[in-house]
């Protein structure tokens, strides 16, 4: 939905501070094949509870929901989602405003300022989501939410800490989606299958990203452990042959993933994350041509 409210945060030289994006600061980073906006400054890293309470955030009243239904009708031949990888995330957005170190300390210590930031964001996101689903009048097909829970080699936090601090927040979003009879897909980077049993128990039906290089994230492992209980969206590594190999290697790799994940259904062919600009165009085309040729019964 387009943001129609007031400007909340001042412009900063050589920074991007989006009007409706919680006051997060970003700086442009150039590299040999392009560039990207990276999070920086962490304006709430040392904030007090009162400063968190006073921090300007977009109100649910400041979005224009009037075009949601028309958008859904115009695009009804596609799968339409609401949310995204930043919906319901605690560590990610907390880290963007307070720094990752402080965001993790907040969870472990239940820091009052950090917890208030999470509660404020959650309540606003829930209400914006509720109004969007109401406006869609059944035109939205699924909720997409996210939280990065793993490094490449291990969980980012313990299962006990997830259950204590983050799962109750995630459950609010899942329950809201279920009240509108739509399924939920959750984005989790890195080694995150340790949380999948909880996802199943919560009512989440699709897991997204699925970085095959990470611990306990190979397609074979995921299919064996969770096939039939979770659907999978991802598995095509953005650090593998699509980025570094030949066309032939890309085709072979994609066919291998399909051979593992397709039996029994429940697989959406997709990159593990956004394709990066170091992926040769011919490999990207080969990836999708392989899915078109071999990815259907």
- Residues 98 and 14 reside in one and the same domain: yes
Same domain, 148 and 24: yes
Of 134, 168, 194, which residue constitutes the final position of a domain? 194
Per-residue pLDDT, 162: 98
Do 80 and 185 fall within a single domain?
A: yes
The answer to whether position 42 is within a domain reads yes
Same domain as 225, residue 123: no
133 with 226, same domain: the answer is no
Q: What is the pLDDT of residues 154-199, one digit of tens each?
A: 999 999 999 999 999 999 999 999 999 999 999 999 999 999 999 9
| Per-residue pLDDT at 134 exceeds 90 | yes
Instruction: Among 131, 162, 194, identify where a domain stops.
Output: 194
The predicted model gives 217-228 an average pLDDT of: 97
Residue 104 pLDDT exceeds 90 = yes
Q: Which pLDDT does position 21 carry in this prediction? A: 77
The answer on 148 and 43 residing in a single domain is yes
Alpha helix positions (H), the chain: 49-54, 68-74, 91-98, 100-109, 112-136, 159-161, 167-179, 196-202, 219-226, 241-244, 247-261, 281-294
- Looking at 152, 167, 194, the residue that finishes a domain is 194
> What band does 18 get if pLDDT is binned at 50, 70 and 90?
confident
* pLDDT band, residue 146 (cuts 50/70/90): very high
Q: Of the given ranges (29-38, 80-89, 230-239, 284-293), which has the lowest mean pLDDT?
A: 29-38
3-class secondary structure per residue, 230-272: EEEEEEECCCCHHHHCCHHHHHHHHHHHHHHHCCCCCEEEEEC
- CATH value at residue 137: 3.20.20.210
Is the residue at 79 inside a domain? yes
Would you say how long the chain is, in residues?
A: 297
pLDDT tier at 19, thresholds 50, 70, 90:
confident
Is residue 15 in some structural domain? yes
The pLDDT score that the predictor gives to residue 34 is 86
pLDDT of residue 1 exceeding 90, the answer is no
Q: What is the rounded average pLDDT of the residues 206-213?
A: 96
Residue 200 domain-assigned? no
Tell me the C-alpha distance between 188 and 238, whole Å: 15
Looking at the structure, tell me whether residues 78 and 151 fall in a common domain. Answer: yes
**25 domain-assigned:** yes
**What percentage of the chain exceeds 90 in pLDDT?**
94
Looking at the structure, tell me whether residues 123 and 261 fall in a common domain. Answer: no
Residues 150 and 253 in one domain: no
Buried b (16+ CB within 10 A) or exposed e, 120-133: ebbeebbebbebbb
Q: What is the mean pLDDT of the chain?
A: 96
Q: Could you list the residue range(s) of the whole structural domain that residue 83 is in?
A: 1-194
136 and 254 assigned to the same domain: no
Question: Which among 96, 123, 124, 98 has a CA at the least distance from the CA of 109?
Answer: 98
Question: Is the per-residue pLDDT at 296 higher than 90?
Answer: no
Q: What is the mean pLDDT of the segment spanning 48-56? A: 97
Tally of structural domains, the chain: 2
């Amino acid at each position: 939905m387009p943001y129609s409210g007031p400007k909340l945060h001042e412009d900063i030289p050589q920074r991007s501070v989006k009007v409706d994006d919680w006051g997060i600061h970003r700086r442009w980073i150039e590299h040999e094949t392009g560039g990207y906006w990276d999070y920086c400054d962490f304006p709430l890293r040392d904030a007090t509870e009162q400063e968190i309470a006073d921090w300007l955030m977009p109100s649910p009243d400041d979005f224009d929901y009037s075009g949601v239904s028309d958008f859904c009708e115009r695009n009804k031949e596609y799968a339409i989602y609401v949310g995204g990888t930043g919906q319901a995330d605690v560590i990610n957005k907390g880290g963007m405003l307070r720094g990752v170190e402080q965001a993790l300390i907040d969870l472990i210590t239940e820091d009052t300022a950090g917890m208030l930031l999470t509660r404020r964001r959650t309540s606003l996101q829930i209400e914006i989501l509720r109004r969007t689903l109401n406006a869609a009048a059944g035109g939205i097909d699924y909720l997409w939410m996210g939280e990065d829970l793993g490094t490449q080699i291990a969980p980012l936090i313990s299962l006990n800490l997830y259950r204590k601090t983050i799962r109750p927040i995630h459950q609010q979003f899942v329950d809201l989606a279920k009240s509108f009879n739509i399924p939920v897909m959750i984005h989790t980077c890195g080694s995150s299958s340790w949380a999948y049993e909880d996802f199943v128990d919560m009512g989440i039906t699709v897991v997204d990203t699925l970085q095959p290089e990470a611990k306990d994230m190979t397609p074979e492992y995921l299919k064996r452990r969770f096939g039939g209980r979770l659907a999978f969206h991802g598995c095509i590594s953005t650090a593998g042959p699509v980025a570094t190999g030949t066309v032939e290697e890309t085709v072979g790799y994609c066919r291998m993933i399909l051979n593992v994940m397709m039996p029994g259904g429940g697989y959406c062919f997709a990159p593990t994350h956004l394709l990066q600009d170091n992926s040769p165009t011919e490999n990207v085309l080969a990836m999708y041509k392989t899915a078109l040729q071999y990815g259907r019964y």
